[in-house]
Structure 1
Amino acid sequence: MFENITFANPDFFWLFLLLPFAIAWQFFKQKEETASVRISSLKGFNYPSFLPKLKPLLFIFRLLAISAIIVAMARPQTEDISTRTKTTKGIDIVMAIDVSSSMLARDLKPNRLVALKEVAADFIRQRPNDRIGLVAYAGESYTKTPITTDKSIVLNSLKDITYGQLEDGTAIGMGLATSVNRLKESKAKSKIIILLTDGVNNMGFIEPQTAADLAVEFGIKTYTIALGTNGNALTPISYNADGSFRYGMRQVEIDEELLQEIAKVTGGTYFRATDNESLEEIYEEINKLEKTEIEEFKYYRYEEKFRPWVYIAGILLLLEWFLRNTVFRSFV
Structure 2
Amino acid sequence: MLAFAYPWLALLAPLPVLAWFGLPPHAERRAGLRVPFFDRLARLSGQQPFDGGVVARRGSVRFAVLTVVWLLALAALARPQWIDPPLHRDLPTRDLLLLADLSGSMDTKDFTDPSGQTVDRLTAVKQVLDDFLARRKGDRVGVVVFGDAPFALVPFTTDLELCRAMLRDTDVGMAGPRTAFGDAIGLGIGLFARSTVKAKTIIALTDGNDTVSKVPPVEAARVAKDKGIVIHTVAVGDPTAAGEDKLDEAALKEVASATGGGFFRALDRAQLAEIYQRLDAIETRRIDTVSFRPRRDIYWIPLAAGLALTLLAEGLHLARRYRRDHASGRRPATAGARS
TM over 0.5: yes
Query: Normalising to structure 2: TM-score of the pair?
Result: 0.55
Match of 2:280 in 1: 287
1:266 to 228, 236, 259: 259
CA RMSD, aligned part only? 2.5
Structure 2 unaligned runs (5+)?
1-84, 113-118, 292-339
1:129 aligns to 2:122 (yes or no) = no
1:257 aligns to 2:250 (yes or no) = yes
Alpha-carbon offset, residue 180 of structure 1: 1.5
Alpha-carbon offset, residue 296 of structure 1: 7.2
- Write the distance in 1 (CA, Å) between the matches of 2:270 and 2:175: 28
Structure 1 unaligned runs (5+)?
1-81, 233-248, 299-332
Alpha-carbon offset, residue 184 of structure 1: 2.5
Opposite residue 91 of structure 1, the aligned amino acid is R
Q: Which consecutive segments of 4 or more residues in structure 1 shift more than 4 A?
A: 82-86, 249-252, 294-298
The 1:200–1:145 alpha-carbon spacing in structure 2 relative to 1, beyond 3 Å, is same
Match of 2:96 in 1: 93
Match of 2:108 in 1: 105
Match of 1:189 in 2: 198
Alpha-carbon offset, residue 217 of structure 1: 1.6
Asked if the contact 1:137/1:170 (under 8 Å) is kept, the reply is yes
Asked if the contact 2:209/2:245 (under 8 Å) is kept, the reply is no
- Write the distance in 2 (CA, Å) between the matches of 1:259 and 1:127: 24
Instruction: Give secondary structure in 2 for the equivalent of 1:225.
Output: strand
CA deviation vs aligned residue, 1:98-132 (integer Å, no higher than 9, x gap): 00010011111311000000101111110111000
Match of 1:152 in 2: 161
Opposite residue 176 of structure 1, the aligned amino acid is I
Q: Which has the larger Rg?
A: 2
Alpha-carbon offset, residue 181 of structure 1: 1.3
Instruction: Give secondary structure in 1 for the equivalent of 2:194.
Output: coil
- Structure 1, 181-190 or 85-94: larger mean CA deviation: 85-94
1:213 aligns to 2:216 (yes or no) = no
CA deviation vs aligned residue, 1:153-197 (integer Å, no higher than 9, x gap): 111111111123222111110111111111122111200000111
Match of 2:189 in 1: 180
Opposite residue 260 of structure 2, the aligned amino acid is G
- Write the distance in 1 (CA, Å) between the matches of 2:167 and 2:255: 24
The 1:156–1:203 alpha-carbon spacing in structure 2 relative to 1, beyond 3 Å, is same
- Write the distance in 1 (CA, Å) between the matches of 2:101 and 2:154: 15
Instruction: Give secondary structure in 1 for the equivalent of 2:111.
Output: coil
Identity of aligned residues (%): 32
Asked if the contact 1:222/1:262 (under 8 Å) is kept, the reply is yes
Alpha-carbon offset, residue 293 of structure 1: 3.3
Alpha-carbon offset, residue 199 of structure 1: 1.1
The 1:274–1:207 alpha-carbon spacing in structure 2 relative to 1, beyond 3 Å, is same
Q: Hey, which of these two has a bigger chunk of strand by percent?
A: 1
- Write the distance in 1 (CA, Å) between the matches of 2:141 and 2:290: 25
Asked if the contact 1:83/1:296 (under 8 Å) is kept, the reply is no
1:162 to 171, 174, 180: 171
- Write the distance in 1 (CA, Å) between the matches of 2:288 and 2:228: 25
Alpha-carbon offset, residue 87 of structure 1: 3.8
Asked if the contact 1:194/1:225 (under 8 Å) is kept, the reply is yes
The higher-RCO structure (CA 8 Å, 6+ apart) is 1
Asked if the contact 1:196/1:225 (under 8 Å) is kept, the reply is yes
- Structure 1, 205-214 or 195-204: larger mean CA deviation: 205-214
Opposite residue 264 of structure 1, the aligned amino acid is S
- Write the distance in 1 (CA, Å) between the matches of 2:207 and 2:193: 26
Alpha-carbon offset, residue 230 of structure 1: 4.6
